């Protein structure tokens, strides 16, 4: 791209009042760049002046020094132009008010040893923006030759059927796969269903039959029963899927990557890359590569995983105090539903009428928790099944519900209230101690924690509120032909659920193009699952159409960039393949990366992982960020008697950067010694940036990003966690340079932690002050 530069500085929103705009304008002029100032750059006249320069002067590389990049992004979007936003408003003048950071007086301006920290900050940010645009280019979309718009839906229960209908209604061809002989899943074995319309008080007949009839009306829906997915290969817009019959053997997969035990020596120490590669080659000698496409496979553009759930089954004697496994009339709620669906509720042991039924919601014996995989759904199921007892035995049927936590969601609270009014249903918060045989019936003993009394209830049956286990706990279902393996990675950390970030991006899994709906995402009622199915279909459609346009899906929706590899310098270390949170990179037998651009979500984790720095994006690269770091002014004793510190903040654009903006909006201030560079994700931070900053003389560096760990909020799943590991490992390099480990730190914040940020930043700056200046300053 033949670049023609221009810089535009806005003086509105207090910028012109707080800063010496003439001094700012002198910076691009010294570099030979034309510069304009405007009192309202985002207004019609301001935008018109930029467009005029684009049309008449051929300007195509623009630096806009004004408000945050997070606002007016559509206003400052110019076709065919590189646009870099310099945040003078939120992160300079609003967060560093002159009431706290006074401008220099005329007398001070004559003193060469005086400086204005806010002005220096603004000048640095402008220089950083100018440096960046010199190192980036305009992205071009990556487009597949042919984009397949067919949607595969795995699971023929109420969620999968609903998803198929929604996709077909939207005009997409659908293939619905079900491993059983019939569609319907668990819903086929229900007596009744929870209410789904006002007043939400009465049970309704199952809607599954009507759903199946509706499905049959769509000619663009293909149904495959007694079929499972043997393998999903390829990438969004171009998946190749192999089907098989349950139990059928298909030989094309190899056990790749190496098993964990082969990655270490006899002492458990991790092997070096060369030895790992030798073992890999030996292990896969003569075997067929898992990535080889099936010539007989069917093509799809996106996949919806609606494989559902199975009932949780107690193991061993963990519920022996309830008689489960020994007393026939102690059953799970799933089995009780099947009994009720067959007709009048009767005991399993002798076929007699079950007029008194106790529903137990917790493990009991002093345990305040619920059964595994339970929640609002199991509470509602207990209420529903208690109603069955009253329907079958109107005059003398009794249902007792012992719970520690009763949860009803949304308008289903009305259903709970209607159950409370039934004189034959008794509910109490209680701790069940035991269930034992009593003649031809059962005795349930409990401590009533509301009344503080011991309770004994005679029962014909006892029902345990066991939970809904996502089938992905036992089986990956999709069987992906990815180098990272056939299953969703780290799924055990999420109890088998397949959401990649349930807080920010529901339906999305760790594999772009594969979306989750229903009970594989979280425990849901049938009503919630039908709504969830529509959401997953919308995500699948969005993915297909984004691939067709050559842009990324969420969270960087619309991004046309993709990782570009300089393979000549690749050492086949496989870090990019292994660390990508979305499995977007495969590799060949030698370990050379094989990117799949439409799987990529543009987080840049691969760029941060690469020790050779050969992975870049055209508008976000190792060089572009390094050039911004090098553009930061680092005052020394040659400049001032007491030079100010310089602290670099590498800040995640997803939560931390907007939190900083909100800090400015609320006029909360922090040290003016800090310089902020937004990054796509902390996972994209390459340690060379930290080394560049320290070698330039910057005194301290902090990384600011999303929370990681069990309660992770990282938009790219693993980014913050990977960054923390890299920061830990950089300690050895710091010590070799005679620098303290404390000069580099990482902090986790949520988007609403804006009020905490000033203290976090100021405390870190204070700790750097105690350490003293970077000894490399001035070299």
| pLDDT-derived band at 254, boundaries 50, 70, 90 | very low
| pLDDT-derived band at 767, boundaries 50, 70, 90 | very high
Average pLDDT over residues 623-638: 95
Percent with pLDDT over 70 in the chain: 96
Average pLDDT over residues 64-74: 96
Average pLDDT over residues 252-256: 50
Residue 192: C-alpha distances to residues 293, 380, 431, 526 (Å): 45, 12, 29, 11
Helices (H), 631-704: 656-665, 687-696
Tokens coding 599: 């799987």
The answer on pLDDT for 373 being more than 60 is yes
The neighbouring-strand residues paired with 464 are: 332, 360
What's the pLDDT score for residue 179? 96
Comparing 173-187, 266-280, 390-404, 696-710, which segment has the lowest mean pLDDT?
266-280
What's the pLDDT score for residue 317? 84
Phi, psi of 620 (to 5 degrees): -160, 105
Comparing 185-189, 276-280, 392-396, which segment has the lowest mean pLDDT?
276-280
* CA atoms of 539 and 571, how far apart (whole Å): 37
The string of pLDDT tens digits covering residues 165-204 is 999 999 999 999 999 999 999 999 999 999 999 999 999 9
Is the pTM above the cut of 0.85?
yes
| pLDDT-derived band at 287, boundaries 50, 70, 90 | low
The answer on pLDDT for 475 being more than 90 is no
Tokens coding 637: 């004793």
Tokens coding 701: 């560096």
| pLDDT-derived band at 1, boundaries 50, 70, 90 | confident
Average pLDDT over residues 249-257: 60
What's the pLDDT score for residue 728? 84
For residues 774 and 737, the answer to whether their CB atoms sit within 8 Å is no
Average pLDDT over residues 611-632: 97
Which string of DSSP letters, residue by residue, matches 522-586? S---HHHHHHHHHHHHHHHHHHHHHHHHT---TTSTT-----EE-GGG-----HHHHH-TT--EE
Average pLDDT over residues 216-241: 96
Residue that the structure tokens 């089995």 belong to:
335
| pLDDT-derived band at 249, boundaries 50, 70, 90 | confident
What's the pLDDT score for residue 492? 73
| pLDDT-derived band at 502, boundaries 50, 70, 90 | low
Coil, strand or helix at 305: strand
The end-to-end CA distance of the chain, in Å, is 35
Comparing 175-189, 214-228, 272-286, which segment has the lowest mean pLDDT?
272-286
The neighbouring-strand residues paired with 119 are: none
| pLDDT-derived band at 285, boundaries 50, 70, 90 | low
What's the pLDDT score for residue 290? 60
The neighbouring-strand residues paired with 434 are: 445
User: Within a 13 Å sphere around the CA of 104, how many CA atoms are in the beta-carbon half?
Assistant: 17
**Residue 698, C-beta contacts closer than 8 angstroms, at least 6 positions apart:** 629, 632, 634, 646, 647, 648, 774
What's the pLDDT score for residue 449? 72
Buried b / exposed e along 306-340 (16+ C-beta atoms within 10 A): bbbbbebebeeeebebbbbeebebbbbbbebbebb
**Residue 83, C-beta contacts closer than 8 angstroms, at least 6 positions apart:** 62, 64, 76, 77
Average model confidence (pLDDT) for the chain?
92
Biggest CA-to-CA distance, the chain: 102
Residue that the structure tokens 């902020």 belong to:
676
Comparing 250-259, 304-313, 452-461, 478-487, which segment has the lowest mean pLDDT?
250-259
Using alpha carbons, select from 657, 665, 648, 684 the residue that is nearest to residue 765: 648
The answer on pLDDT for 711 being more than 50 is yes
Distance of CA 465 to the CA centre of its chain: 30
* CA atoms of 27 and 278, how far apart (whole Å): 55
The answer on pLDDT for 276 being more than 50 is yes
Which string of DSSP letters, residue by residue, matches 324-359? TTTSTTEEEHHHHHHHHHHSS-B-TTT--B--EEEE
Residue that the structure tokens 């042919």 belong to:
146
Average pLDDT over residues 503-514: 86
Comparing 284-293, 371-380, 766-775, which segment has the lowest mean pLDDT?
284-293
What's the pLDDT score for residue 424? 96
Residue that the structure tokens 């000033």 belong to:
758
Average pLDDT over residues 394-413: 94
The answer on pLDDT for 410 being more than 60 is yes
Comparing 105-109, 272-276, 722-726, 749-753, which segment has the lowest mean pLDDT?
272-276
The string of pLDDT tens digits covering residues 730-750 is 877 787 778 899 999 999 999
* CA atoms of 510 and 50, how far apart (whole Å): 41
Using alpha carbons, select from 499, 662, 648, 583 the residue that is nearest to residue 232: 583
Average pLDDT over residues 557-583: 93
The string of pLDDT tens digits covering residues 17-40 is 999 999 999 999 999 999 999 999
181: exposed, middle or buried (Cβ count in 10 Å: 0-12, 13-18, 19+) = exposed
* CA atoms of 521 and 324, how far apart (whole Å): 29
The answer on pLDDT for 137 being more than 80 is yes
The neighbouring-strand residues paired with 403 are: 429
User: Within a 13 Å sphere around the CA of 574, how many CA atoms are in the beta-carbon half?
Assistant: 17
* CA atoms of 259 and 257, how far apart (whole Å): 6
Tokens coding 659: 């939190």
Buried b / exposed e along 222-245 (16+ C-beta atoms within 10 A): ebbeebbbbbbbbbbbbbbbbbee
For residues 768 and 700, the answer to whether their CB atoms sit within 8 Å is yes
The answer on pLDDT for 8 being more than 60 is yes
**Residue 621, C-beta contacts closer than 8 angstroms, at least 6 positions apart:** 135, 136, 607
* CA atoms of 608 and 487, how far apart (whole Å): 24
Average pLDDT over residues 58-67: 97
Residue that the structure tokens 């050895």 belong to:
732
User: Residue 539 region, left (φ>0) first, then alpha (ψ -120 to 50), else beta?
Assistant: alpha
The answer on pLDDT for 6 being more than 90 is yes
Show the beta-strand stretches assigned E in 574-712.
585-587, 593-595, 615-616, 647-652, 674-679, 700-705
In the DSSP assignment, the letter for residue 658 is H
Coil, strand or helix at 709: coil
| pLDDT-derived band at 388, boundaries 50, 70, 90 | very high
The string of pLDDT tens digits covering residues 529-545 is 999 999 999 999 999 99
| pLDDT-derived band at 256, boundaries 50, 70, 90 | low
Helices (H) and strands (E) in the chain, counts: 19, 29
The string of pLDDT tens digits covering residues 652-681 is 999 999 999 999 999 999 999 999 999 999
User: Residue 325 region, left (φ>0) first, then alpha (ψ -120 to 50), else beta?
Assistant: left
The answer on pLDDT for 255 being more than 50 is no
In the DSSP assignment, the letter for residue 92 is I
């Amino acid at each position: 791209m033949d670049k023609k530069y221009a810089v535009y500085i806005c003086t509105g929103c207090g910028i012109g009042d707080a800063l010496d705009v003439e001094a700012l304008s002198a910076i691009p002029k010294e570099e030979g760049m034309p510069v304009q100032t405007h009192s309202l750059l985002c207004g019609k006249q301001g935008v018109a002046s930029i467009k005029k320069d684009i049309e008449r002067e051929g300007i195509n590389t623009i630096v806009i020094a004004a408000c945050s990049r997070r606002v007016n992004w559509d206003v400052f979007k110019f076709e065919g132009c590189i646009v870099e936003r310099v945040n003078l408003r939120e992160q300079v003048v609003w967060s560093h008010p002159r009431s706290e950071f006074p401008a220099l007086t005329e007398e001070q301006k004559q003193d060469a040893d005086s400086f204005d920290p806010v002005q220096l900050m603004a000048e640095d940010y402008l220089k950083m923006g100018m440096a960046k645009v010199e190192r980036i280019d305009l992205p071009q979309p990556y487009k597949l030759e042919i984009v397949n718009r067919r949607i595969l839906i795995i699971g023929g229960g109420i969620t999968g059927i609903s998803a198929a209908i929604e996709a077909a209604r939207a005009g997409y061809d659908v293939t619905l796969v079900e491993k059983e002989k019939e569609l319907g899943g668990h819903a086929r074995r229900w007596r009744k269903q929870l209410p789904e319309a006002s007043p939400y008080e009465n049970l309704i007949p199952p809607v599954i039959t009507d759903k199946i009839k509706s499905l049959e009306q769509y000619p663009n829906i293909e149904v495959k029963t007694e079929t499972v997915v043997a393998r999903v290969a390829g990438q969004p817009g171009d998946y190749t899927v192999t089907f098989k019959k349950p139990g059928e053997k298909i030989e094309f997969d190899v056990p790749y990557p190496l098993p964990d035990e082969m990655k270490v020596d006899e002492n458990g120490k991790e092997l070096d890359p060369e030895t790992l590669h030798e073992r890999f080659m030996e292990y896969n000698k003569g075997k067929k590569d898992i990535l080889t496409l099936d010539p007989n496979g069917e093509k799809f553009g996106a996949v919806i995983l609606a494989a559902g759930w199975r009932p949780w089954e107690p193991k061993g004697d963990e519920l022996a105090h309830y008689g489960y496994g020994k007393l026939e009339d102690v059953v799970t709620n799933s089995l009780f539903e099947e009994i009720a669906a067959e007709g009048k509720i009767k005991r399993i042991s002798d076929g007699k009428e079950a007029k008194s039924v106790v529903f137990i919601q917790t493990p009991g014996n002093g345990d305040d928790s619920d059964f595994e995989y339970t929640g609002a759904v199991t509470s509602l199921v207990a209420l529903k099944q208690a109603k069955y007892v009253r329907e079958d035995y109107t005059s003398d049927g009794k249902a007792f519900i012992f719970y520690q936590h009763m949860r009803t969601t949304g308008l289903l609270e009305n259903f709970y209230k209607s159950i409370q009014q039934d004189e034959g249903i008794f509910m109490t918060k209680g701790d069940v101690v035991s269930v034992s045989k009593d003649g031809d019936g059962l005795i349930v003993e409990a401590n009533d924690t509301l009344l503080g009394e011991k309770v004994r209830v005679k029962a014909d049956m006892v029902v345990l509120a066991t939970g809904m286990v996502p089938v992905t706990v036992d089986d990956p279902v999709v069987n992906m032909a990815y180098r990272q393996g056939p299953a969703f990675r780290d799924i055990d950390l999420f109890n088998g659920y397949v959401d990649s970030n349930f807080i920010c991006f529901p339906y999305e899994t760790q594999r772009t193009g594969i979306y989750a709906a229903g009970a594989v995402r979280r425990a849901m009622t049938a009503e919630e699952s039908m709504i969830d199915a529509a959401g997953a279909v919308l995500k699948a459609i969005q993915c297909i159409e984004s691939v067709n346009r050559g842009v990324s899906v969420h969270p960087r929706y619309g991004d046309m960039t993709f990782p570009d590899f300089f393979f000549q310098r690749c050492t086949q270390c496989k870090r990019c393949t292994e660390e990508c949170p979305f499995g977007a990179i495969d590799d060949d037998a030698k370990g050379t990366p094989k990117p799949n651009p439409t799987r990529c979500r543009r987080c840049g984790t691969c760029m941060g992982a690469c020790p050779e720095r050969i992975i870049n994006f055209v508008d976000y690269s190792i060089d572009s960020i390094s050039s911004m770091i090098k553009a930061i002014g680092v005052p020394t004793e040659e400049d001032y008697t007491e030079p100010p510190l310089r602290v670099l903040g590498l800040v995640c654009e997803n939560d931390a950067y907007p939190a900083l903006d909100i800090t400015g909006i609320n006029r909360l201030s922090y040290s003016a010694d800090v310089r902020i560079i937004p990054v796509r994700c902390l996972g994209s931070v390459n340690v060379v940036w930290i080394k560049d900053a320290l070698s330039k003389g910057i005194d301290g560096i902090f990384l600011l990003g999303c929370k990681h760990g069990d309660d992770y909020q990282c938009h790219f799943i693993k980014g913050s966690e990977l960054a923390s590991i890299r920061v830990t490992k950089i300690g050895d390099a710091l010590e070799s340079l005679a620098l303290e480990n404390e000069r580099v730190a990482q902090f986790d914040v949520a988007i609403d932690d804006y009020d905490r940020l000033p203290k976090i930043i100021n405390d870190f700056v204070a700790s750097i002050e105690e350490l003293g200046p970077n000894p490399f300053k001035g070299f």
